[in-house]
Structure 1
């Protein structure tokens, strides 16, 4: 069932906006946030210290994990199998979410405090490019199939488009406070943490093409292939699977009580991984049939499990424990623990 498509007159208005003419500032309401987690109980697998209250994490096809950390701000490059640090890349301000432009990188790291987007080589930590002026407090970024980078402009609203390291377009109109974004073919599907649903942008055309209400208040998003994406309804205790064509149609709702937040997709095993921050749980969901998702396991995690990623070589699952104290950590869940579910 098609949810809602933006009318052509609305598209024309949005396309006519320029970075110099931002949309009027909307009334702000509290954004969706993860729960403050209790102490962890017997997390599965191996737990290693990871200083800096880590948030976003990605794992390359070569087995390099990259985690975004704070104080000192930067990226920690890790061996995904052991969690041993390979190197540290300092940044001006702390990145929050990370994504990969390709299976082996580079890593896209939006810096919220300096309004920059870094492109970093995960093999050696070299900064390949720095794009300035990517909105106000850029929150997340992905590369669509045509090669356009779409950055969510969290405190400015809307999206910023980057090609070859240069900002080529900015659309202030749209989501009030955009958070997570998923690349779905040529489209970028953006979640609004203020509760205004999802917004679909075309990478090739650099324009808003669809919008629809979804859930209560969303935070994160992840791609499940060429036309599917998952959205964490953090305030609503659910994860939604949506087909993006770019019309928006609901495929399934997955029960996820307790402030679902981190999302990752294991394409080989067709598993969606969801962190439940209120209970330090990783919910494993079989989405081989997206219309009939099946919860197969709830695995105990480290405290404050805000982010999750999959090692494509081994199938191990990596979870960041983002507790700002001395207990911040990385959990490595072996593939057999997930498979045994």
Structure 2
């Protein structure tokens, strides 16, 4: 595979990247449409590892504190203790748009019911908080503050004990909130850009284009933001403070799912057009392919256990979920 790594010392600043003007010349297109995974072809190679039955899964995450794998199928969550094999299910008020885990708890954004749900992964107990505006993603910044991306209006709001304290507005399609250092950044799937946000005032900094159709992002232990450009078929890496694109690497196969293993410095990327997952070593100056494995069909989501390196790949079309240790 041809390698291409571009160090972007001068990147296009999106002043007003999250503008409300549909004819902004810096936008990829006048008609903003989020990129989507490819429809996977039938499997021609047996998936690596072990495949377990599961209904179509939209979201997958893993909590290392409780060794819990979380699979979301509509409003139903399946919680599996990967050490003991014990399994619990719980039902949320509506289907989550995103899941995040931290220290034994799950935070789910529920846009259709205007709620955030917190799940104790040890007991499966669910507590909900009303958040008007259709929350699509949320992360806890500390014990009191939560950053929430909202669908309508398209904003990112900082809540302190449930009360809004700051809001970044005039976004188009905020989809993920990421914390790096003391700052937060929003991935906007419609403008396919990353923008820094001041958590005290809600002021937006200068954003950067994230390829032609960014879909998913994570932060790594170097405080970089790793982003999948599904439409452009690339893996992007942005340094923060300041926000600068540092790496741009081709990933053919319509990449979509993304997980990061901080222990091994591996970025795992699912390829929905080829039913594969690729592991890239991102510790150096450019990504280096270390693993390439066949997957189940429609591998839209992936999670990794940072202690063992075990991968959990879930199918969005009902082909189950796959467990493999590279």
Displacement of 1:283 in angstroms is 1.0
Q: Deviations over 1:257-288 (max 9, x none)?
A: 12211111100111111111111111100011
- Could you tell me which of 46, 54, 59 is aligned with 2:58? 54
Normalised by the length of structure 1, the TM-score is 0.82
Displacement of 1:304 in angstroms is 1.0
| Alignment match, 1:121 | 120
The 3 A distance-change label for structure 1 pair 156 and 277 is: farther
Displacement of 1:111 in angstroms is 0.8
- Could you tell me which of 253, 257, 276 is aligned with 2:271? 276
The separation in 1 between residues aligned to 2:309 and 2:99, in whole angstroms, is: 19
Q: Which moved more, 1:191-200 or 1:234-243?
A: 191-200
SS of alignment partner, residue 98 of structure 1: strand
The 3 A distance-change label for structure 1 pair 184 and 68 is: same
Aligned pairs for 1:50-89 (under 5 A) are 50-70=54-74, 73-80=75-82, 84=85, 86-89=87-90
Aligned pairs for 1:5-16 (under 5 A) are none
Displacement of 1:99 in angstroms is 0.9
- Could you tell me which of 275, 284, 287 is aligned with 2:282? 287
Is the 8 Å Cα contact of residues 14 and 209 (structure 2) preserved in structure 1? no
Displacement of 1:74 in angstroms is 2.6
Aligned pairs for 1:309-324 (under 5 A) are 309-323=303-317
Displacement of 1:145 in angstroms is 6.4
Displacement of 1:49 in angstroms is 1.2
Q: Deviations over 1:221-259 (max 9, x none)?
A: 1011252010110100001000011x2111211221122
Name the Cα RMSD after superposition: 2.6
| Alignment match, 1:164 | 161
The separation in 2 between residues aligned to 1:74 and 1:203, in whole angstroms, is: 32
Displacement of 1:204 in angstroms is 4.4
The separation in 1 between residues aligned to 2:157 and 2:256, in whole angstroms, is: 24
Q: Deviations over 1:110-151 (max 9, x none)?
A: 012112111211111112442421x33x32222346863222
| Alignment match, 1:99 | 100
The separation in 1 between residues aligned to 2:11 and 2:230, in whole angstroms, is: 20
Displacement of 1:205 in angstroms is 4.3
Q: Deviations over 1:91-123 (max 9, x none)?
A: 1211132112x3x23211001211211121111
The 3 A distance-change label for structure 1 pair 185 and 214 is: same
- Could you tell me which of 305, 320, 323 is aligned with 1:329? 320
SS of alignment partner, residue 113 of structure 1: helix
The 3 A distance-change label for structure 1 pair 181 and 299 is: farther
Runs of 4+ in 1 over 4 A off after TM superposition: 4-7, 23-28
SS of alignment partner, residue 206 of structure 2: strand
Is the 8 Å Cα contact of residues 131 and 167 (structure 1) preserved in structure 2? no
Is the 8 Å Cα contact of residues 61 and 312 (structure 1) preserved in structure 2? no
Normalised by the length of structure 2, the TM-score is 0.86
The separation in 1 between residues aligned to 2:315 and 2:261, in whole angstroms, is: 20
Structure 1, unmatched stretches of 5+, are 15-22
Q: Does 1:148 align with 2:150?
A: no
| Alignment match, 2:234 | 238
| Alignment match, 1:202 | 198
Structure 2, unmatched stretches of 5+, are 1-8, 23-29
Aligned pairs for 1:176-191 (under 5 A) are 176-191=172-187
